[in-house]
Amino acid sequence: MIDSAQMVKKIFTQKSGRVETNKGEEYYNSLFEKAKNRLKSLRAQPALRDVDIMDVLETEGVNRRDFMKWVSATTATLMLPPMFAPLVAEATELMNRVPVIWIELQDCAGNTEALLRSSAPTVDDLLFDVLSLEFHHALMACAGHDAEHQLDEAMEHFKGKYLLFVEGSIPTGMNGNYGTIGPAGETFQEHLMRLSKDAAAVVAVGTCATFGGVPAAAPNPTKAVGVMDLVRGKPVVNIPACPANPANMVGVVLHYVLTGQIPELDSLLRPKFAFGYRIHDNCERRAHFDAGEFVEEWGDEGAKNNWCLYKVGCKGPMTFNNCSIIRYNEGTNWPIGAGHGCIGCSEPDFWDKYAYQRPMANANIKPPTGGVERTVDEFGLGLLTATAIGIGVHAVASVVANKKSKEEEEK
């Protein structure tokens, strides 16, 4: 059993796994030609849904200018140079050529609800109206045997071509009988394995599907696991978070439409374009962390002045996601912007390890040589006076410097 100090040290000394954002002219020229040929091939295929993306956007009040702004932002999110923007725009029009089967397992349907309950849907939300969604428990009109028949028909007709989206964890305890589905009482595990067998790729959406999420939290009575723990020999993409950001879902689909392949993944099978950076790296409150200015308790002066939330439990320094860049609801806001620290919902076992309103560990970790600036992202945690509350090593030095500065001013 690893103790908290070892765990924190491991987190802050691991490589961030950041993607190489510039792979050279030759690479991008080759990818551009490949994407052009891929889109040409898709355009020659019949549309699976008679839906025009521009008609959908116009109905919701999104004009061409707004759409092209979204295209530019999405191209950047996918870490592609501007020359790809016209291809990304074309790919959105061809999303109705890619069949999608979406299943719900052991979950709250939060990722689906995040899309459905949007009062002002974003372009990302609206693109799901264009996808050829062949099966979705929560959205389809038919039920019972009719729904099962539609699923079987879609699997047969699009064999080897469909993207399988999975929402929810898979219970493996009691021979999988904690979760069954269909007239034959098929377990969730059997259901997943049957559907993933002939999928082009499997996309696990939300933290439950990726790492087990809430059902897998201790003591994990149903022995819940994520998709990647069961599916083998098939491309698997994890899009964690609770709920997953629609922009990241669309990004994965667009990458597949553009290239016919899944995006580059990290060691946890997350797309690097979305999970290649820590929340902390691009946080709007990072300057307060560097200055040693922290919220000590809810409602204090620090909270009123939007200071760093690390000491009240923000897990931004150890959480990989692009929330601080793309945010939610057309970039309107995100949890830290709304005044609450990151709870690390895109990381494995976050319910057991991260979701507390206090720093992660009591750890006496000394900063390595080289200076505070360089070591903040290598260690990030240290001992804060006699209280033994873990905070960033950089923060410790910053707090001391900040206090010394104030004392000098008072003198």
What is the C-alpha to C-alpha distance for residues 385 and 387, in angstroms, rounded to an integer?
6
Q: Are 190 and 324 in contact (CB under 8 A)?
A: no
Greatest Cα pair distance in the chain: 81
* Strand, helix or coil for residue 334: coil
Tokens (6 digits) for 57: 């956007």
Q: Is position 191 annotated in a ligand binding site?
A: no
Q: Is position 323 annotated in a ligand binding site?
A: yes
Q: Is position 255 annotated in a ligand binding site?
A: no
Q: Where are the alpha helices (DSSP H) in 213-348?
A: 246-259, 272-275, 286-290, 301-304, 323-326
What is the C-alpha to C-alpha distance for residues 298 and 333, in angstroms, rounded to an integer?
20
What is the C-alpha to C-alpha distance for residues 62 and 58, in angstroms, rounded to an integer?
5
Q: Is position 142 annotated in a ligand binding site?
A: no
Q: Are 202 and 195 in contact (CB under 8 A)?
A: no
Q: Are 101 and 151 in contact (CB under 8 A)?
A: yes
Phi, psi (degrees; rounded to nearest 5) at 101:
-115, 125
Residue whose C-alpha is closest to residue 90's, from 67, 113, 106:
67
Annotated binding site for [4Fe-4S] cluster: 108, 208, 242, 280, 283, 308, 314
Annotated binding site for [3Fe-4S] cluster: 323, 342, 345
Annotated binding site: 108, 208, 242, 280, 283, 308, 314, 323, 342, 345
